[in-house]
Structure 1
């Protein structure tokens, strides 16, 4: 990790400073890098003088310039003497807001006199000497306002400093903690809160701050009156706080002074005013300065005041529960359970677990055990969740509670522990204990969901029909069956109907935005996959981003991060943006638990992209990890691995093996996945094997229709049209491959102009695919090879002997030798080493 912070970004500001002939004033909040920017602007220039103003030097006339002036001033005009003594062509004045009047006058004189270019930095929203203010007020020099780093700039500087990728959630968390302040960001990184996980940097554990950062922030806060300190402490433990609440606590007058000092912010929230600390790290330093007893006193005062006000806001229950717990007050099981539920809804899952454990310890009984099991499920502690559920299961409870517990327990067993038989057993027992139709309907819906997850679509359809036969459903049941319907429609390849059903259910959920986050995630996932099946990449990517955001602040709901991070990577791969897809896939894989159901989907997508990019060793490593850590409960976690393995085989030169695997996959895949498996066979050069099947598919989709057209294309012109169709949909890799195939068909027909045009188009498209290396694109490097010649050329380039190639492809050694002779003739190389160099290039 670099101790020195790299200079990243600020290119526009840097150019503006360097182009300012008379000088410039650079203003900005503390820590935004004003001094660093000025230093970068004058780097490499001769004759640069620096004057650094300080509060102490402001007591002495010309104090900031003392190091630059002769020791003894003359008896006459000191301003003229100082200006004459400063012969530097460039003068940098740091912290010009702290200049004494004489020094400020000298700076103004140097600018108006000319001959010295002055670059001054100062703190924005801070009083400055009149002579400095006149610099930009009188249009003598421009004023450049330096803003804190944006999220994107924060990511760039972090990756430059750390020398590697930083997880997106970690970037967001660091940006929020630092508020884009470069100094604070630097110190946070130096505190050691980041760890390298594989090739991705991640933030794990609590926030820690360095002594330097603590002292810097304490200096920024400055001296406080007792009332001001009290107000800051209340905010540190309770922000945001309403102005009315602070008035009750007797601290509103102090807050007004703190606002003047820019230590707090006041923001309208409806008819209320909400008050926060001006920077998140202020709270860390303030809390650090409170003893245990004082901290408890503050939290008890907050809990009492908000309780007496009536817990009017949704977050009040959660806040009071935490304040009471942290202040050592006796546990109230009802309050703790309500706080646990609210923390789960807002996806502060670690806090939800903490409150759930406290509720159990406080005697919350079966409801507390069930609630704790649920939040443990959300935090991927599935074994512990099953322990909570099993303990609760043995107690007496209402039929509704029993049904809810059985359904949640079965879900944890399936998608958490991969134990489908036990999940089915739990649902069967729940069914035996249920008497009412509503309870039975809820159980049948969950059984249908599990059937869809494990690939038994017919059973899922039957279970949903039985559910409806029992009579009208409750509003909750209608939503749940809507999610199951969407899963079945997607599996059947009825993408448009799936999207319509999702829209219908989500319209109902929108009336309760905090309810049923798991159902929302499932619906968004179904819709994203349906959009992909239709070839609507824009909608699929938007939904993937929306689902990723369900993970909550900093991705605390790991399952959403894994599922939708993988979905985002898949969309980017289909767009041909392989580098971007790899970045998302690697970030996602870094969040995988030691074992889990989603390992197959996440690692399969990573391996698939590695294979397309030509990094076959990395692809095989990802596949091996998936085999060791995954739980193959159904198609959605198994098929990604099969697709990835096929393209890894193709990359190793075993095109025939890749084709066989794709055909085998298509035999057992769900209808929604069959088109992609069959189209991969087309991309691997064997459209004759699948054209009839693609044409006969009962899947209504513009993309699937284009797949069928691709397989049926018999000449270069038709393949040109197919390539244009893929490009219109945004599938650039498919478009490049079809164009490369078109060039080959044109050449075979002797249509050289068409061949050159298609080849140029394929090359142009492939350049946008961020390093894609597939068999179809090999023609761009080695034009004119037949599929068999390409296959043998790749194997020979990998060092296989003629006999080894013959055994792998089940042909004669003579056939291999003759084919290689033709390859050498077409490529102009003489041996395997030269052939390998050509193919690698």
Structure 2
């Protein structure tokens, strides 16, 4: 890979350089690819000369140009002699900020002289010679600012370099670590820290610094004084640090000098100035250069200084706990336990487990064991969590602590190990031991939550009613009850009620210091499903993105990644963005542990996407994996698999089997899933079997009503109207299918014109579905173009302008424009490039 790192993106910048008649100055931070961009711009050109400036060459006049000039300079004017000797069409001057004054004057002279185009690169925010500054200041050549890669550009570069899809979370993490620096990104990939998992590249293992990257960053840091080195090391182990704290630990002058050299950044945070290293990788290199004793000294100094300051910020508890642990100081169970809790809150779960174990080893007793069991469960280490919970259960603890442990243990058993029977037994024993009314109410709420997961909605409602009958709840209990009621309303298909209650509770959670991410995830997931039932795809996608973001910075809370990654894939599938849905489903499935309750949800969505893209074999492989690794405990794990299997059967030509499976699944499904299952029967061509049932559903919003209207449609015009309704809601695949069904109805009624219009509409919509192929679309014909339309379409696809086409065919420009508009409307494409691709595909 080292010799074939791809040049991706930068198309606009490349075009700007190539079109600059006299030259251009390319400026940017170190590592953004200025030299690579310049090389790409002149690739293939004849007569290109390169001058590479260095600090050493700047000690000698014209030192950067020495390889390009005759060995012996004349006794007279060296500038004129050098200019005369450099008779080249294109001159590239790399690192022009390092030029000596004579070399800079030579570059300025060459730019003003006809015959040589100069492309100069330089480091931004760095002093440059006056003659170089004058190039863009006096308007001689444009200055092009080259920014670091964006997140999207980073994804494109990574996929081109690795030759496959890269998980979105991994792309985001690499982008954060590299800050979009092209050189750093390349070295991180070359370090081997990425691994292919299920066809998707993912971050695997610790961050590794290659020798090249270490040397590059060390060179960027350069020579520093002892005080500056000390400040950098403190930041490497403790950033961000307050400026006052750094000043107390070292020298404020040193920090100011580091800021001047752009090695650290200082930002206002409330009333405090926070200091950080200028790049995340600086800390990796600095820590790599510290010995064990030096590192211990630094973290102990940090722990002492922040402790003496009073642990005034929430993050301080976590940081001091880690510093003391890394510094080999005696364990403080209370501090370690507080640090474990804080790490859990911010979802740095690996650190939370480490601190939890340290708290147990330090003699933290039952509280430490309970905390460790909780973070092990959050980390998908359910068997370990089960073992630790059993040990903690035997210890002495308060009634409230035992209730909390029992509730968490039951959750681990049910949603982690799929052992619903043991979970029920633990909750029963917890309830028996709970004498306090509030504690008993907590167990009833958890029993109701597990009943919802199992699809036993009536049981859940009964348990919640009994909970309310026990008496008033405390503030925490009332919130937990409300969250459980939201889950019940979502399952029952009371979408508007669910969204309203969820929004109310989520607004309260936002005001909490830590946001209570677990409750927020439950509410967000239920609200998103309610939004889907209402046909509000925008709200559902926004909620899915919010839920995915609850994972936090470190990407270790698998529950959020699996649940909301699958939900995002479902939204994209309903939008008809099939390729995007497949990408999200593959990313999500790659995160699945060996066995998981969520395997049915994730792999069901993956199989569904494959089936709708016309890849039944790949869908069957995903379904087989789900059978081998899934532990479904209710509809959320069963229905996605059954739906995927139905569409896989349809893809194999067994439409009758697919219809039968949808109908069978609808019999035992939650009310919120029934409309989608019945509507799939309509999509499969058997509206007669479900029309009455869909009409009888009493649910909020336009989507279920549109499903019923689709099932009841008896002619092409009504199906056209249904298609338009789906398109307004953004359900493009459904819209395309309804339009395709309208074609058959029109033809059956002998309405040729209506059939042709519906065919054009169905084709246009299907083209926006990224390759979706369902039973209704599989026989969809390409809309026919008239001879004149095809003639103009071919010329446009070849790149001719409307005026050039008009001149060649002896027609008006307006005629060409109107004809192209009709072609675009028929084919569903919207520009010449897409039109060329379509015509090539049809020809092949």
What's the TM-score, normalizing by structure 1? 0.93
Which SS does the other structure have where 2:435 is aligned? coil
* Corresponding position of 1:99: 99
CA distance in 1, matches of 2:515, 2:494: 27
CA distance in 2, matches of 1:106, 1:779: 69
- Are 1:598 and 1:637, in contact at CA under 8 Å, matched by a contact in 2? yes
Residue 402 of structure 1 corresponds to which residue in structure 2? 402
State the match for 2:613 in structure 1: 613
**Distance between the aligned counterparts of 2:64 and 2:531, measured in 1?**
64
- Do structure 1's residue 296 and structure 2's residue 296 form an aligned pair? yes
Which runs of structure 2 are paired with 1:253-402 in the superposition (5 Å)? Answer: 253-402=253-402
| Map 1:67-146 → 2, pairs under 5 A | 67-146=67-146
Match of 2:705 in 1: 705
Preserved contact between residue 242 and residue 274 of structure 1 (Cα < 8 Å):
yes
How far apart, in 1, do the equivalents of 2:513 and 2:526 lie?
A: 19
Return the alpha-carbon distance in structure 1 between the equivalents of residues 431 and 583 of structure 2.
45
In the alignment, the residues of structure 1 paired with residue 513 and residue 530 of structure 2 have an alpha-carbon distance, to the nearest angstrom, of 23
Alpha-carbon offset, residue 526 of structure 1: 0.2
Instruction: After superposition, give the CA deviation of every residue in 1:808-833 in whole Å (9 maximum; x if it has no partner).
Output: xxxxxxxxxxxxxxxxxxxxxxxxxx
Confirm or deny: 8 A CA contact 1:2 1:162 kept in the other structure: no
* Contact 2:682/2:711 (8 A) holds in 1: yes
> Following TM superposition, by how much is the alpha carbon of 1:103 offset from its aligned partner in structure 2, in angstroms?
0.7
Match of 2:800 in 1: none
Alpha-carbon deviations, 1:67-118, whole Å to 9, x = none? 1011111111111111000010110000001111111111011111222110
Structure 2 residue matching 1:330: 3-state secondary structure: coil
Aligned residue runs from structure 1 range 498-537, under 5 A? 498-537=498-537
| Cα pair distance change 1:454/1:3, threshold 3 Å | farther
Note the alpha carbon deviations across 1:705-759, whole angstroms, 9 max, x for none. 0000000001111100000000000000000000000110010001111110011
What's the RMSD between the two structures over aligned residues? 1.4
- 1:434-469 Cα deviation digits (max 9, x unpaired): 111101110000000000000000000000000110
- Tell whether the 8 Å contact from 2:95 to 2:121 is kept in structure 1 after alignment: yes
* 1:532–1:542 distance in 2 versus 1, CA, 3 Å: same
Q: Which secondary structure does the structure 1 equivalent of 2:363 belong to?
A: coil
Structure 2 CA distance, aligned partners of 1:4 and 1:554?
30
Shift of 1:13: 0.9
Q: Find the residue that maps to 2:583 and give its secondary structure.
A: helix
In the alignment, is the contact (CA less than 8 A) between 1:2 and 1:161 conserved in 2? no
CA distances 1:529-551 after superposition (whole Å, capped 9, x unpaired): 00000100000000000000011
**Structure 1 CA distance, aligned partners of 2:499 and 2:578?**
27
Match of 2:171 in 1: 171
Q: 2:608·2:619 contact (CA, 8 Å) conserved in 1?
A: yes
Pairing 1:472-483 to 2, within 5 Å after superposition: 472-483=472-483
Task: Tell me, in whole angstroms, the C-alpha distance in 2 between the residues paired with 1:765 and 1:141.
Answer: 47
Residue of structure 1 equivalent to 2:198: 198
1:840 CA displacement: 15
- 2:754 corresponds to: 754
2:468 is paired with a residue whose SS is helix
Equivalent residue number for residue 50 of structure 1: 50
Which residues of structure 1 form unaligned runs of 5+?
784-837
State whether residues 379 and 557 of structure 1, in contact with CA within 8 Å, keep that contact through their aligned partners in structure 2.
yes
Paired position in structure 2 for 1:801 = none
Distance in structure 2 (CA, Å) of the matches to 1:210 and 1:778: 51
- Poorly superposed stretches of 4+, deviation over 4 Å: 838-841
- CA–CA separation in structure 1 for the residues paired with 2:342 and 2:554: 18
Quote the offset at 1:48 in angstroms. Answer: 0.6
In structure 2, the residue matched to 1:828 is none
For residue 461 of structure 2, what is the aligned residue in structure 1? 461
Compute the displacement of 1:698 (Å). Answer: 2.4
Structure-1 residue corresponding to 2:420: 420
Q: Is the alpha carbon distance of 1:582 and 1:200 closer, same or farther for their aligned partners in structure 2, counting shifts above 3 Å?
A: same
Q: What is the SS of the residue equivalent to 2:317?
A: helix
Instruction: Please list every run of 5 or more consecutive structure 2 residues that lacks an aligned counterpart in the other structure.
Output: 784-840
Contact 1:170 1:554 (8 Å CA) reproduced: no
Q: Contact 1:200/1:590 (CA < 8 Å) preserved in 2? A: yes
Could you tell me how far apart the structure 2 residues matched to 1:361 and 1:132 are? 64
Q: Give the corresponding residue for 2:768.
A: 768
Rate the CA distance shift 1:316–1:410 in 2: closer, same or farther, 3 A: same
Deviations 1:351-393 (A, max 9, x none): 1111011101111010000001111111100000011111000
**1:675 touches 1:704 (CA, 8 Å); kept in 2?**
yes
CA distance in 2 between partners of 1:623 and 1:342 (Å): 38
Q: Secondary structure at the match of 1:149?
A: coil
CA contact (8 A) 2:230 2:250 kept: no
2:577 alignment counterpart: 577
- The Cα shift of 1:554 comes to 4.0
1:352 & 1:555 partners in 2: Cα distance?
A: 13
Q: Which residue of structure 2 aligns with residue 220 of structure 1? A: 220
**1:35 aligned onto 2:35:** yes
- Identify the residue that residue 562 of structure 2 maps to in structure 1: 562
Match of 1:640 in 2: 640
Shift of 1:516: 2.5
Separation of aligned partners in 1, 2:54 and 2:2: 29
Aligned partner of residue 779 in structure 2, secondary structure: helix
Whether the 8 Å contact between 1:169 and 1:554 is mirrored in structure 2 is no
Per-residue deviation, 1:127: 1.1
2:604 and 2:644 in contact (8 A); partners too: yes
Does the residue aligned with 2:224 lie in a helix, a strand or coil? coil
Deviations 1:11-31 (A, max 9, x none): 111111111111111111110
Contact kept, 8 Å, 2:347 with 2:554, in 1: the verdict is no
What is the Cα deviation at residue 138 of structure 1?
1.1
**For the structure 1 residues 840 and 748, does the alpha-carbon distance in structure 2 shift closer, same or farther, using more than 3 Å as the test?**
farther
CA distance in 2, matches of 1:732, 1:138: 54
CA offset digits 1:401-440 (Å, max 9, x no partner):
1110110000000000000000000000011101111011
1:167 Cα offset (Å): 0.7
Q: In structure 2, how many angstroms separate the alpha carbons of the residues matched to 1:51 and 1:509? A: 60
Alignment partners' CA distance in 2, 1:210 and 1:15: 33
Q: Is the 8 A contact 1:781 1:839 kept in 2?
A: no
3-state DSSP class of the match of 1:780? coil
Q: Spell out the pairing of 1:802-813 with structure 2 (5 A cutoff).
A: none
Please state how far the C-alpha of 1:700 moved relative to its aligned partner.
Answer: 2.3
| 1:250 to partner: Cα distance | 2.4
d(CA) in 2 for partners of 1:651, 1:93: 59
| Corresponding residue of 2:496 | 496
User: Once the 2 structures are TM-superposed, how far is the Cα of residue 475 of structure 1 from its aligned partner?
Assistant: 0.8
Q: Distance in 2 between matches of 1:469 and 1:389?
A: 30
1:653 aligns with 2:653: yes
2:290 alignment partner, SS class: coil
Q: Distance in 2 between matches of 1:468 and 1:736?
A: 48
TM-score, normalised on structure 2? 0.92
* Separation (CA, whole Å) in 2 of partners of 1:700 and 1:76: 91
- The aligned residue for residue 662 of structure 2 is 662
Given that 1:357 and 1:372 are in contact with CA atoms closer than 8 Å, whether structure 2 keeps it comes out as yes
- Give the equivalent residue in structure 2 for 1:4: 4
Paired residues of 1:382 and 1:417 also in contact (CA < 8 A): yes
Cα shift at 1:251: 2.4
- Asked whether the equivalents of residues 18 and 41 of structure 2 are also in contact (C-alpha less than 8 Å), the reply is yes
Partner of 1:183: 183
Q: Distance in 2 between matches of 1:524 and 1:441?
A: 24
Aligned residue pair count: 787
Give the Cα–Cα distance (whole angstroms) in 2 for the partners of residues 450 and 278 of structure 1.
48
Aligned CA distance change for structure 1 residues 507 and 430 (closer, same or farther; 3 Å): same
Residue in 1 aligned with 2:596? Answer: 596
